[in-house]
Chain A
Amino acid sequence: MTTPAPVRARRPVVGTRSPVHGLARRSLPFTDVVAQSLSAVAPSAAATTMPLLVATVAGGSTVLALAVALVLAVAVAACVNQFTRRIAATGSLYTFVVRGLGPRAGVVTGVAMLLGYGFITMFALAGGGWYAHILVVRFFPALAPGAAPALVVVLLMGAAVWWVLLRGIRRSARVTLVIEVVSVVLLAVLVLAMLAHTGPTAAVRAALPEPGTGPADVAVGTAIALTAFVGFESAATLGAEARRPFRAVPRAVTWTALGSGLLYLGASVSQLVGYAGLGLDLAGARSPANELAVAYGVSWAGPVLDVGITASFFACAIASSTALVRVLFTMGREGLAPRAFGIAHAVHGTPARALALTMPVVTLGPVAMVLLGTDLWSAMQAILVVAAGGYITAYALVCAAVPAFLRRIGEATWPPVALAAGTATLLAGSLVVMLVVQSGTPRQAGVWVFVTLLAVGVAAGLVRLGRLPRLWARLGVHDEAVVTDLLGAE
């Protein structure tokens, strides 16, 4: 250009190195980004277990609760994408909330996410043990009584997850994608076959809420159903590493939320229809997909599904713990958590210290609960309440952060702001209702664990924030544009 560009008053300095240098910047193709979100959600495991868990709390309004959860999840995805379209982050929601509402709210979000990711990992390990036990009993009926086989599987899976994460096996994401796609397709075929078999009227009758279920049932059901979606945002942790992150990450987040939600709706309707056809109640089932497969004469599908679901739980454990240690690692690097968490493995470049602390805890957690006298299925339900509390808190905060963030960067328009405010309100409401209602059920231990851990974690974080003022400027680090990204700057 011959004429000099007008000099701008505020021109931000662009560095030659991104603040998150060291990661393989702009390298991951879209499939790997989707794989991260999809395996964190583990839709096939969730589609077989979640309708049952929702049915135990929401009774006749299972489908309604799932539908509300689907709408909420897509709304949360839209809010999260207000950030993922503009920031390439590695700390996901935690980074976003720091950018919108500041470090204090960021600390709350970070602790809530740690609870969510940590307890979902526990849930996935326990679920893997539960379904592996069912599979083993098919071939060795003598092993049916006792929890020992399931616990052995939990320990083995915990060790395997640790090993995979320590070795930094990126390919595992592709493997889990294949496992997930195969089991989702199998499940979708069974769902469609079941719906074709019973006809549309039965499906509609099952989907409509039964008389006698109130808004509170729907709210609790929605809160539990939301846990089936959690993890869809985890593609946002790959912002720095994804190729074309501002396109790939938002798409992965939206598609995962929408696709898994539709699968859950289909699965829950078909399970309800199936059980109604047998004259049974879904809430009393143990393993609905199996029991239905046997009752409707396709018992060969049972073991195949068990393998798929166990694998799906394993994938979920890998993806959730990946996100868990990544958030801890980010906090360690920033100085919010002890520095040791930010130490990477010398050879594999993986967050080894964070792994060494978290993996024993999340693996031994469910084992200890069973050894203390709870059965594995009840333990899983209580664990899920903690995870749901953590995730919904984080989701509500990230939605609440959208208006502030958009105003801060001067790009606020009313549709995203209105959507974010509405979603945050609904999420906060369903969180409160869930905690209140669950505190009167056998799952109340989950409520107290959630409230206690959140309070302790937030207090510790805020104390550290108060003691180390330089933290204020350090939180919320994300990948930035560097000179080689710009035209004519290098």
Chain B
Amino acid sequence: MSRPIFASPEAAARLLGLADGGAADKGADDAGEEGLRGRQPRAARHALRVLEYVAASGAGVTGQEISADLGLSRATTYRLIQVLTEDEYLVRLPDLRGFALGRRMAALFPPPAPRPPRAARAILDRLRAGLRGGIHLVRLDGVVHAVVDEDPDFPLVPEPGVREVVDGVCAELTAGRQPAVCVADRWTAIGATVVDEAGQVVAGLVVVAPEDRMPGAAEVDARLAPAALELGPLLA
């Protein structure tokens, strides 16, 4: 699930009722250019509240109920519902009164990165036992790069440089370059990719250590590569 939430900025604007709002709001200033104006921020907030309300009350909630419970005027509510149904974030049910969240909303809820299975954690334990430095497993196939198994002995500390080297290595790995090395402040990170059967990058093994304590790149790579190979079938 790495689909972008919105196909385009226009799609996002439509969700927030901006594209049509300009024409509907009599006397509203020109909405052609970027940026929120006038009553538009409030319209965006209201649209999101309507979605939240439908999500909370379940399928079948009616326009009248939404209007009454959110304290919005009926005209505003129906207009918001209209915009959201046009784009299929909301779906009108067969009784024509009730609404439910549309399938399109699925793009807003990417599934969380799962905890790696036991077999994968065992491989990580072995790797950590034989190599000095924090060894972390990062999923690279989601909407964000997420650390799914952090080294318990050398956690990612909030020191200057740590975030930069991890980000840098992950970016390199996603682009398909490996072994990836990144240096910032006094920190170094070295990474290897975990790929699926088609060669698509699914995760990265990242070793983070202070520059002066990092073993040689060749040694690290010799350790990481076989572990990454073993992890492939467990994570992809």
Interface residues of A (CB under 8 A from B): 1, 5-8, 10-15, 85-87, 99, 244, 246-247, 408-411, 413, 415, 480-481, 484-490
Contact = CB atoms under 8 A, between A and B. Distances in A.
A8 B75 contact: no
A132 B85 CA distance: 46
A413 B82 CA distance: 14
Nearest to B109: A487
7 contacts: A1-B55, A5-B56, A10-B98, A12-B60, A246-B88, A486-B103, A487-B102
Nearest to A7: B58
B98 A12 contact: yes
Given A244-B87, A246-B86, A487-B105, A413 B59 contact: no
Nearest to B105: A487
B218 interface: no
Contact of B64 (A1, A7, A411): A411
Contacts of A13: 94
A10 B60 contact: yes
B103 A487 contact: yes
Contact of A485 (B56, B78, B88): B88
Given A415-B75, A484-B103, 4 more contacts: A14-B93, A14-B94, A15-B94, A244-B88
Nearest to B56: A5
Chain B: number of interface residues, binned into ranges:
20 to 34
Given A5-B57, A411-B63, A12 B94 contact: yes
A15 B93 CA distance: 10
B65 to A, nearest CB: 9
B66 to A, nearest CB: 11
A13 B63 CA distance: 18
B215 to A, nearest CB: 44
Contacts of A1: 55
A302 to B, nearest CB: 40
A244 B86 CA distance: 6
Interface in B38-73: 55-64
Contacts of A485: 88, 91, 102-103
A5 B53 CA distance: 11
Contact of B85 (A6, A85, A486): A85
Contacts of A14: 59, 93-94, 100
B189 to A, nearest CB: 36
A86 B78 CA distance: 11
B106 interface: yes
A481 B78 contact: no
Interface string B94-138: 111110111111100000000000000000000000000000000
Contacts of B102: 485-487
Nearest to A88: B92
Main secondary structure of the interface of B (DSSP, over half): mixed
Contacts of A11: 58-60, 98
Contacts of A5: 56-58
B132 to A, nearest CB: 40
Contacts of A247: 86-87
A486 B56 CA distance: 15
A410 B60 contact: no
A21 to B, nearest CB: 14
B74 interface: yes
Given A14-B93, A86-B92, A486 B60 contact: no
Contact of A8 (B60, B74, B88, B103): B60
Interface string B208-223: 0000000000000000
A409 B96 contact: yes
A331 B72 CA distance: 41
Most buried by A among B57, B88, B94: B94
A6 B58 contact: yes
B231 to A, nearest CB: 31
A488 B59 CA distance: 11
A85 to B, nearest CB: 6
Contacts of A411: 63-64, 74, 78, 97
B82 A481 contact: no
Contact of A481 (B55, B93, B104, B105): B93
A15 B94 CA distance: 9
B57 A487 contact: no
Nearest 5 A/B pairs, CB to CB: A5-B58, A247-B86, A487-B101, A480-B94, A12-B95
A99 B95 CA distance: 11
A8 B94 contact: no
A239 to B, nearest CB: 12
A6 B101 CA distance: 15
A244 B87 CA distance: 7
Contact of B63 (A6, A410, A488): A410
A481 B55 CA distance: 17
B82 A85 contact: yes
A411 B96 CA distance: 10
A481 B62 contact: no
Nearest to A26: B88
Given A6-B58, A413-B78, A487 B100 contact: yes
A487 B95 CA distance: 18
Nearest to A15: B94
A413 B59 CA distance: 23
Contacts of A15: 94
Contacts of B100: 14, 481, 486-487, 489
Given A481-B92, A486-B91, A410 B97 contact: yes
Contacts of B58: 5-8, 11
Contact of B96 (A86, A415, A486): A86
Most buried by A among B74, B87, B96: B96
A359 to B, nearest CB: 35
Contact of A410 (B62, B88, B93, B101): B62
Given A244-B86, A487-B100, A481 B94 contact: yes
Nearest to B85: A246
A413 B74 contact: yes
Contacts of A487: 100-106
Contacts of A488: 101, 106
B206 to A, nearest CB: 32
Contacts of A409: 62-63, 96-97
Nearest to A414: B75
A5 to B, nearest CB: 4
Contacts of B85: 85-86, 246
